[in-house]
Amino acid sequence: MTRTIYILNGPNLNLLGKRQPEIYGTDTLEDAASRCREVAESSGLNVDLRQSNHEGQIVDWIHEARQKAAAIIINPAAYTHTSIAILDALFTFDGPVVEVHLSNIHKREAFRHHSYVSARADAVIAGCGIEGYALATRRVVSLLAKA
């Protein structure tokens, strides 16, 4: 069985650390990746963190995960609130799916309160900054241990 966790990130998250730091913090996506790596490697798992500004690319990576990943952690960014295509792709994936948001989307504008992806996510973590990625990895590790 594959021991890789895909950590997929949507639009504008390449600018994490520089983009609206008062909301998203000053840590980068690479900092998030190292935190996840630490958690995953202690349980014999690998992480593969990716980011794209393109919806179709994220759909393609989810399809790839069907063969190559044991679990998916996903921050779809703005596509959270718009993308039935990403939701449908996640429905084709059998392993654990954890949705992460750096900010607490429920404390923000009303248009951020609804997530399409939550209809498939096994867990949702919001408002913990990049620590949310490490928490999501911990949850995936325990879900995979139970599977």
**Residue 24 a catalytic site member:** yes
Cβ(140)–Cβ(98) below 8 Å: yes
For β-strands 46-51 and 4-9, DSSP reports them as parallel
Which residue minimizes CB distance to ligand DQA?
A: 77
Closest distance between ligand DQA and the C-beta of residue 102, in Å? 4
Which of the 8 DSSP states describes residue 33? H
Site of interaction with ligand DQA (CB under 6 A): 12, 75, 77-78, 80, 101-103, 105, 112
For β-strands 4-9 and 97-101, DSSP reports them as unpaired
In 3D space, the residue among 130, 113, 110, 121 whose CA is nearest the CA of residue 86 turns out to be 121
**Residue of 24, 79, 116, 133 marked active site:** 24
**Residue 113 a catalytic site member:** no
**Residue of 6, 101, 116, 133 marked active site:** 101
Closest distance between ligand DQA and the C-beta of residue 99, in Å? 9
Active site residues: 24, 101
